[in-house]
Amino acid sequence: MFFGPDLTLTMLSVIVFFAALGLAFYVVVGYPLLLGILAKRSRNPVRKSHQLKSVSVLLAVRNGEQFIAKKLESILKLDYPPELMEIVVVSDGSTDKTALIVGQYDSDRIRLISIPHSGKCAALNVAASSSQNEILLSTDVRQTLAPDSLKLLINCFSDPSVGVVSGELKIRKGANSDELSTGLYWRYESRIRQQLSTIDSMFGATGPFYAMRRELAVPLPPDILLDDMYLPLAAYFRGYRLVQEPLAEAYDYPTSRRTEFARKVRTIAGNYQILFAYPSLLGPGNRMLFHFLSYKFGRLTLPWLAIALFVSSCLLPVPWRQIAVGGQIFFYLLASIDPWIPDRLPGKRVSSTIRTLVGMLIATLWGLSVFFMPPKTLWKETKIDATHL
């Protein structure tokens, strides 16, 4: 049968429209639902037992005077034998009172190393090379740790298949819809990570609080944006599991949507870097290839699926063209007016969720800037509302 060019274009636009719509829905909604089913059927628990291993706490910090005292207090209050724990603080060219505050603590327990500003990866390399214990615990300056959290992480290393263990990051309740929406997104993300951990392994760690076996650590390249993916993936490709211990809690402050957007851009840019650093992620050498494509790689395709969806909508036959294009315009319009929709209105949760999703699409495109500018320019200071401190 002969198809004219107009009919062929229409059929192609229909195929592209439904393919893009279906794939986008799968990445955002379908895969998390499928993952939940697979996790419930999984029979791959981490074999935990009470044990004690020597731990080096690595804390790389730059200009952290707002948080450093609370952070060190929470580390010192960990329910763990002091003789099995060393604390190495590397001040990455701090220009505030960070070093002065650290210097006020007992030097037998806390060791301060000051280096010229070189970036987090360089600071972590210095911290790791200056430490000596079996387990490396990497943590950031802003989050406080639950007293039992370290013991709970260490118990997971009783399982010889486990190479990296992440804690559970809890975001304190936000004061407004902006802060609440970022906390909601993190819960969505954390659930996916926990389910991957249940099945076999995550593809990284929870950056503010994770532990790994020293023998699995590798030097970090200076421009890598995601140490919490680069280091754990080195263990993953040696056959180890990267798991999450949901009972080992760390607590963070809520952040604004603007701050979260900057963090998301850096995270997405870091994911692009990781694809080049570990090309095996996209090949048969990745034992969880299906999950990686559905999750991490799928997220990177979302902006292109959105573009394909809109372009193909413009080529659909009438009246479907008006319905599809109008629906997408309304979708993006709702995201754009969300800041002015009062929190008390019942539709606020819908508009806020849509705005979060649109922000993720924009951040994914913006993350491509890592190929055109120095990666360090994507590091932005995290601003915390003073009322939370």
Please check the confidence at residue 387 and state whether its pLDDT lies above 80.
Answer: no
Q: Supply 137's token pair.
A: 């615990």
Rounded to an integer, the average pLDDT of 181-195 is 84
| pLDDT score at 172 | 80
Give the amino acid at 128: A
Please check the confidence at residue 181 and state whether its pLDDT lies above 90.
Answer: no
Q: Kindly report the backbone phi and psi dihedral angles of residue 55, in degrees, each rounded to the nearest multiple of 5, phi listed first.
A: -130, 135
| pLDDT score at 389 | 57
Give residue-wise pLDDT tens across range 216-256: 999 999 999 999 999 999 999 999 999 999 999 999 988 77
Give residue-wise pLDDT tens across range 249-302: 999 988 778 888 888 999 999 999 999 999 999 999 999 999 999 999 999 999
Measure CA 95 to chain center.
28
Nearest to 85 by CA among 50, 63, 111: 111
User: Which 8-state DSSP code applies to residue 382?
Assistant: P
Domain ranges of the chain: 1-41+276-383, 55-255
Please check the confidence at residue 1 and state whether its pLDDT lies above 70.
Answer: no
| pLDDT score at 388 | 54
| pLDDT score at 3 | 47
Q: Supply 327's token pair.
A: 């629906």
Q: Kindly report the average pLDDT of the chain as a whole number.
A: 92
Please check the confidence at residue 196 and state whether its pLDDT lies above 90.
Answer: yes
Nearest to 169 by CA among 152, 151, 186: 186
The whole-model pTM stands at 0.91
Q: Percent of the chain having pLDDT more than 70? A: 94
| pLDDT score at 2 | 41
Measure CA 374 to chain center.
21
Class of domain 55-255: alpha beta
| pLDDT score at 70 | 95
**Band of pLDDT at residue 6, cut at 50, 70 and 90:** low
User: Which 8-state DSSP code applies to residue 52?
Assistant: -
Please check the confidence at residue 378 and state whether its pLDDT lies above 70.
Answer: yes
Nearest to 143 by CA among 67, 39, 223: 67
**Band of pLDDT at residue 4, cut at 50, 70 and 90:** low
Question: Which residues are paired to 57 by β-bridges?
Answer: 87, 137
**Band of pLDDT at residue 9, cut at 50, 70 and 90:** confident
Distance CA 196, CA 204 (A): 11
Distance CA 13, CA 312 (A): 5
Q: Kindly report the backbone phi and psi dihedral angles of residue 361, in degrees, each rounded to the nearest multiple of 5, phi listed first.
A: -65, -45
Contact (CB, 8 A) for 213 and 157 = yes
Give residue-wise pLDDT tens across range 311-357: 999 999 999 999 999 999 999 999 999 989 888 888 888 898 899 89
Please check the confidence at residue 111 and state whether its pLDDT lies above 80.
Answer: yes
Distance CA 362, CA 303 (A): 7
Question: Is 226 strand, coil or helix?
Answer: coil
